[in-house]
Structure 1
Amino acid sequence: MDFSALQRTSKITDEWRYPEAAARASGLLQVDREPDHRLYWEEYGNPAGEPVVVLHGGPGGACSPVMARYFDPAPYRIVLFDQRGCGKSIPTVAADGPAVALAHNTTAHLIADIERLRDALGITGRMHVFGGSWGSTLAMAYAIAHPDHCASLILRGIFLGAPEDLRFMYQGNAATFAEAPYALTEPGSYVSYPEAWARFLAPIASAERGDVMKAYKAIFDMAPATDAERQRQLEAALAWSVWEGTISNMIPDQADEGKFGEAAFALSFAQIEAHYFANHLFMAPDHIIRNAATLARIPIHIVHGRFDLVCPLTQASRLVAALRDAGAEPATFVVTNAGHSAMERETALALTAIMDGLRPIEG
């Protein structure tokens, strides 16, 4: 069977409505000192258009020019930026080490960074906030803190970050894997990706698999003193990163791990994620659900893949139920025949259609 053909049909290719373009402006914004954090940002589209701030996933991911293709460049001013420690922002874990890149790197810092970026770019009114996966989490956390700055939230692959959500993705049957690798002892993403799951667990000793995230965090927190220790840390980061990259696609590309298999990206991505997950995303338990009444004041558009095994559909369903309990229907709730990736065809087209159909910002 031609699996590459299946992969091509699941990803958006020529169906994009808007072409990829070069950034109209870009820069580095100083947002903190000791350590100095500078955020890389880019702008696309109409400088006089309605502002859209795009929040990438992870935590620990990065933006890329393709993320501007969901938006008509005529009515929108599109702002992409790399969060602290990520992408082209400075410092990064890969280049500067976790002690520097993870300092002053919390959800509260990221929310404050969005405000600083607004001020630096002269955005004074309400704006659209567009985010997927962890980007959806950050978008909602930002909206709870600054509801009057949000004209709408456009969210993909809802991630609430509850302990059971993380256990589903990272724990599964790990505790019994050595004795019964194919036993369905616990729910988890592993059920659809058994080969990738084995590779993900390989860096962790069997005796430490009762808490996989804790075991990975111990490797990432190690200050490597030898080439062997540096290699072990890199191999763990790659295993963590490639696991998420693989299960993000309903039909994984067996021949290309993409950025998830690149050493510099993996070192930053894995260690930032582990940092946030070990600290409960730096939010109070159920922070988003407990503040659904605030979110209910804002039009919320949700696109979620039915076959998402990074952020299962139950997370979007839980959010929608909380909004309804607060007296508001989501403005859009679309369930696509897709997995987690924003690059899967149905999800990309749905997000583009939502942006094309938004009402102009009033006031």
Structure 2
Amino acid sequence: MIDFSGLQQASTVRDEWKYPAAAANRSGLLQVDHAPDHKLYWEEYGDPAGEPVMVLHGGPGGACAPVMARFFDPARYRVILFDQRGCGKSEPTVAAAGPAVALTRNTTDHLVADIRTLRDALGISGRMHVFGGSWGSTLALVYAIRHPEDVATLVLRGIFLGDREDLLYMYQGNAATYAEAPFSITAPGSYVAYPEAWKPFVETIAPAERDDMMAAYKAIFDRAPRDDADRLRQLQAATAWSVWEGTISSMIPPADDPGKFAEAAFALSFAQIEAHFFAHELFLAPGEIVDNIGRIAAIPTHIVHGRFDQVCPLTQASRLIEAMAGAGAAPASFAITNAGHSAMEAQTVLALTAIMDGLPRLG
């Protein structure tokens, strides 16, 4: 028998953290809208008088976790984590209240406005560092373009521009031809690196509906459940969507452990919020980020991207950097790590922590 026990089982961070886990100084729910009454759950870590850092999580719908505060020196920074509308501990969530409620007034414009409301409520009046990965990088860029006066520094990981080609790479791939030739590379896509994880994602959708996988999934999510069988179908679809992204986020996924991505409450919110935003092209005008990148020319921007990222391939960072250079806004630093998409992979953790440690102090 061949012993494979010595092979690396995962690429996620282990002992690489510089700063210890810590409890939040305080937390709360902030009402940011009515009809429905959207309330954001937020937490504060580090020095209450320190340099403010606004952390923007991925997804959309991914939610924050306390571990995200470990990128920052707690003696220097005041770190704000919060869950965006519809997910995590914010209220109402898609999982608890359903999409008809939690996806109402849930757009990029609303999320940008929420950041301003939250910083005002927490007494952040000057410039702040904005730290975001994946969808969080998208939201950080949009926020900085619209409110450059609020932003001292952008620290971005796993750049996501959200163009149609980027979404097709991850969610469409060879799905249209999968029934006849499941292992044929008939189109580019993440499935090439993760064929075993692709199978349940594709097979959740009937072969006749695989020409547009995102539309097929959204049709399941949009259908009002009539009975327990319908509710189970929606949960199965949400879990398949969520586990697919969770699995391919790590260069070496944890063996047989999809973690939170397989949990019903997380999956229902995560998958349905993503499908909602993707169906509306992220609620952004075509080219809104790259066409307006000159507005952040004066903001030092640091970028970290995993070379083996299959959720947001490295070409997205390349497109952003090309646009920045063309606008005279070349990034202050750009690190390509030997990692996948997740912020919790060792090299990416080290790179992001080093950036935050090396930033010039505000004021």
TM range (shorter): over 0.9
Deviation at 1:4, TM superposition (A): 8.4
The answer for the alignment partner of 1:64 in structure 2 is 65
Task: Name the aligned partner's letter for residue 58 of structure 1.
Answer: G
User: Which whole-Å CA distance do the structure 2 matches of 1:36 and 1:150 have between them?
Assistant: 28
User: Which whole-Å CA distance do the structure 2 matches of 1:264 and 1:141 have between them?
Assistant: 28
Deviation at 1:295, TM superposition (A): 2.2
Superimposed CA distance per residue, residues 214-246 of structure 1 (whole angstroms, 9 cap, x where no aligned partner): 000000001001111111100000000000000
Match status 1:329 vs 2:330: yes
Superimposed CA distance per residue, residues 308-339 of structure 1 (whole angstroms, 9 cap, x where no aligned partner): 00000000000001111011220110000000
Deviation at 1:2, TM superposition (A): 4.1
The answer for the alignment partner of 1:220 in structure 2 is 221
Asked whether the 8 Å contact 2:302–2:334 carries over to 1, the reply is: yes
The answer for the alignment partner of 1:7 in structure 2 is 9
User: Which whole-Å CA distance do the structure 2 matches of 1:3 and 1:273 have between them?
Assistant: 37
Asked whether the 8 Å contact 1:4–1:253 carries over to 2, the reply is: no
User: Which whole-Å CA distance do the structure 1 matches of 2:351 and 2:138 have between them?
Assistant: 19
Match status 1:186 vs 2:179: no
CA change 1:208–1:120 in 2 (3 A) is same
- Tell me the C-alpha RMSD between the 2 structures: 1.0
Q: Identical aligned pairs, as a percentage? A: 71
Superimposed CA distance per residue, residues 273-327 of structure 1 (whole angstroms, 9 cap, x where no aligned partner): 0000000000001211111101222110000000000000000000001111011
Task: Name the aligned partner's letter for residue 198 of structure 2.
Answer: W
Superimposed CA distance per residue, residues 120-142 of structure 1 (whole angstroms, 9 cap, x where no aligned partner): 00000000000000000000000
Superimposed CA distance per residue, residues 27-82 of structure 1 (whole angstroms, 9 cap, x where no aligned partner): 00000011000000000000110000000000011101100000000110000000
Q: Secondary structure at the match of 2:85?
A: coil
CA change 1:26–1:223 in 2 (3 A) is same
User: Which whole-Å CA distance do the structure 2 matches of 1:297 and 1:279 have between them?
Assistant: 30
Task: Name the aligned partner's letter for residue 267 of structure 2.
Answer: A
Match status 1:126 vs 2:127: yes
Alignment of 1:257-268 (within 5 A): 257-268=258-269
Superimposed CA distance per residue, residues 128-162 of structure 1 (whole angstroms, 9 cap, x where no aligned partner): 00000000000000001100100000000000000
The answer for the alignment partner of 1:286 in structure 2 is 287
TM-score normalised by L of structure 1: 0.98
Gap runs ≥5 in structure 1? none
Asked whether the 8 Å contact 2:16–2:349 carries over to 1, the reply is: no
Asked whether the 8 Å contact 2:261–2:267 carries over to 1, the reply is: yes
The answer for the alignment partner of 1:305 in structure 2 is 306
User: Which whole-Å CA distance do the structure 2 matches of 1:3 and 1:116 have between them?
Assistant: 51
Task: Name the aligned partner's letter for residue 305 of structure 2.
Answer: H
User: Which whole-Å CA distance do the structure 2 matches of 1:217 and 1:252 have between them?
Assistant: 26
Gap runs ≥5 in structure 2? none
Q: Secondary structure at the match of 1:293?
A: helix
Asked whether the 8 Å contact 2:306–2:336 carries over to 1, the reply is: yes
TM-score normalised by L of structure 2: 0.98
Alignment of 1:100-115 (within 5 A): 100-115=101-116
Superimposed CA distance per residue, residues 166-210 of structure 1 (whole angstroms, 9 cap, x where no aligned partner): 000000001000001111110000000111111101110000000
Deviation at 1:361, TM superposition (A): 1.7
Match status 1:270 vs 2:271: yes
User: Which whole-Å CA distance do the structure 2 matches of 1:323 and 1:235 have between them?
Assistant: 41
Alignment of 1:1-363 (within 5 A): 2=4, 6-8=8-10, 10-362=11-363
User: Which whole-Å CA distance do the structure 2 matches of 1:5 and 1:267 have between them?
Assistant: 34
Task: Name the aligned partner's letter for residue 325 of structure 1.
Answer: G
Task: Name the aligned partner's letter for residue 281 of structure 2.
Answer: H
Q: Secondary structure at the match of 2:43?
A: strand
Asked whether the 8 Å contact 2:296–2:329 carries over to 1, the reply is: no
CA change 1:2–1:28 in 2 (3 A) is farther
Deviation at 1:15, TM superposition (A): 1.5
Task: Name the aligned partner's letter for residue 7 of structure 1.
Answer: Q
Deviation at 1:5, TM superposition (A): 5.1
